[in-house]
Chains A and B, each alone.
Chain A
Amino acid sequence: MEIHEILFWFLTVMALGCGLGVILSRNPISSVLFLIATFFAISGHYILMNAQFLAIVNIIVYAGAIMVLFLFVIMLMNLNADTEPQKNRLIQFAGVLSGGILFLVILAALRTTTSNAADFTSTDIGLMKNLGKVLFTQYVLPFEISSVLFLSAMIGAIVIGKKE
Chain B
Amino acid sequence: MMLLQLDVAFIIEKLILITVILMGSLGIAMYATWGERKVAAVMQDRRGPSRAGPFGLLQPLADGLKLFMKEEIIPDSSTRGLFILGPCLAMLTALLTSAVIPWGPDYVTEAGRIISLQVADINIGILFIFGVLSIGVYGIMLGGWASNNKFSLLSSIRAAAQAISYELAMGLSLIAVIMMTGTLSLREIVDQQHGFWSDGYFTWNFFKQPVGFMVFLICTFAELNRAPFDLAEAESELNMGFHQEYSSMKLGFYLFAEYINLFVSSVILSTLFFGGYNFPFMDQVQGAVPQFVFVAVCVLVLLTKAICFILFFMFVRWTLPRFRYDQLMKLGWKSLIPIALINMVVTGLVILWTMKK
User: Quick check: do A and B touch in the complex, using CB within 8 A?
Assistant: yes
Give residues in A with beta carbon < 8 Å to B.
Answer: 2-4, 29, 33, 36, 52-53, 56-57, 59-60, 63-65, 68-69, 71-72, 75-76, 121, 127-128
4 closest pairs, A vs B, by CB? A64-B134, A59-B131, A56-B127, A56-B131
Question: 8 other contacts beyond A57-B127, A72-B160, with CB at 8 A cut-off?
Answer: A29-B82, A29-B145, A56-B128, A64-B134, A71-B138, A71-B160, A121-B1, A128-B123
- A3-B130 contact in complex given A52-B122, A53-B124, A68-B138, C-beta closer than 8 Å: no
Q: Distance (Å) between the CB of B152 and the closest chain A CB?
A: 11
Residues in A whose Cβ lies below 8 Å from that of B127: 53, 56-57, 60
Q: Distance (Å) between the CB of A130 and the closest chain B CB?
A: 12
A-B pairs with CB below 8 Å: how many? Answer: 74
Residues in A whose Cβ lies below 8 Å from that of B3: 3-4
Q: Is B190 close to A, CB under 8 A?
A: no
- A68-B123 contact in complex given A63-B134, A76-B157, A128-B184, C-beta closer than 8 Å: no
The answer for the CA separation of A65 and B137 in the assembled complex, in Å, is 10
Residues in A whose Cβ lies below 8 Å from that of B124: 52-53, 56, 128
Q: Is B153 close to A, CB under 8 A?
A: yes
The answer for the CA separation of A91 and B19 in the assembled complex, in Å, is 57
Residues in B whose Cβ lies below 8 Å from that of A60: 127, 130-131, 134
In the bound complex, do residue A64 and residue B160 qualify as a contact, i.e. CB atoms below 8 Å apart? no
The answer for the CA separation of A49 and B75 in the assembled complex, in Å, is 44
* B residues 95-132 in Cβ contact with A at 8 Å: 122-124, 127-128, 130-131
Which one, B2, B79, B123, B134, contacts A65 given CB within 8 A?
A: B134
In the bound complex, do residue A68 and residue B157 qualify as a contact, i.e. CB atoms below 8 Å apart? no
Q: Distance (Å) between the CB of B135 and the closest chain A CB?
A: 6
Closest B residue to A75 by CB, please name it: B145
Q: Distance (Å) between the CB of B354 and the closest chain A CB?
A: 20
- Supply 7 A–B pairs (Cβ within 8 Å), ascending by A: A3-B1, A68-B137, A68-B160, A69-B164, A71-B160, A128-B124, A128-B184
Q: Give the interface SS of chain B, mostly helix, strand, loop or mixed.
A: helix
* B residues 133-153 in Cβ contact with A at 8 Å: 133-135, 137-138, 141-142, 145, 153
Query: Size band of the B side of the interface?
Result: 20 to 34
Residues in A whose Cβ lies below 8 Å from that of B123: 52, 127-128
Closest B residue to A59 by CB, please name it: B131
In the bound complex, do residue B157 and residue A72 qualify as a contact, i.e. CB atoms below 8 Å apart? yes
The answer for the CA separation of A83 and B137 in the assembled complex, in Å, is 27
Residues in B whose Cβ lies below 8 Å from that of A52: 122-124
Residues in B whose Cβ lies below 8 Å from that of A59: 131, 134-135
The answer for the CA separation of A33 and B167 in the assembled complex, in Å, is 21
Q: Distance (Å) between the CB of B86 and the closest chain A CB?
A: 12
Residues in B whose Cβ lies below 8 Å from that of A2: 1, 4
The answer for the CA separation of A128 and B161 in the assembled complex, in Å, is 29
The answer for the CA separation of A63 and B4 in the assembled complex, in Å, is 29
